[in-house]
């Protein structure tokens, strides 16, 4: 049985390759594959982005080596960035909950 963290890492790898294998290079996400991944796996985050060009912006930000595709390393930086943002919200909620003492 993998631990929670080991399971999370495995999930990250599986999700990436599920979408990366749809077209073209099976080791990288094209713009279309990234869009599909975001719509299916990060829909609540994508909904908070009201900009219709959000995918293009995200793609440009992620594609640090400039080859027009998102590899696993570049994808992980998105997950890390989102995780940091979520953790900050979690901390805030924890603080607010703590202040609700009678």
- Which residues bind to Ca ion, rule: CB under 5 A? 20, 24-25, 63, 65, 67
Residue 21 beta carbon to Ca ion: minimum distance, rounded to whole angstroms: 6
Nearer to Ca ion, 64 or 83 (CB): 64
96: phi > 0 → left, psi -120 to 50 → alpha, else beta; which? alpha
Residue 13 beta carbon to Ca ion: minimum distance, rounded to whole angstroms: 15
Contacts of 74 (CB under 8 A, 6+ apart): 62, 63, 64, 65
CA atoms of 63 and 101, how far apart (whole Å): 46
Nearer to Ca ion, 65 or 93 (CB): 65
Nearer to Ca ion, 25 or 83 (CB): 25
Using alpha carbons only, how large is the chain's radius of gyration in Å? 16
Residue 91 beta carbon to Ca ion: minimum distance, rounded to whole angstroms: 32
């Amino acid at each position: 049985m993998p631990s929670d963290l080991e399971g999370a890492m495995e999930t990250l790898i599986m999700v990436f390759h599920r979408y990366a294998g749809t077209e073209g290079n099976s080791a990288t996400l094209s713009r279309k594959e990234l869009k599909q991944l975001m719509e299916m796996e990060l829909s609540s985050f994508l909904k908070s982005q009201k900009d219709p060009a959000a995918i293009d912006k995200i793609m440009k930000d992620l594609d640090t080596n400039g080859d027009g595709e998102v590899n696993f390393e570049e994808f992980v930086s998105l997950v890390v960035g989102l995780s940091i943002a979520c953790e900050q919200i979690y901390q805030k909620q924890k603080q607010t909950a703590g202040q609700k003492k009678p």
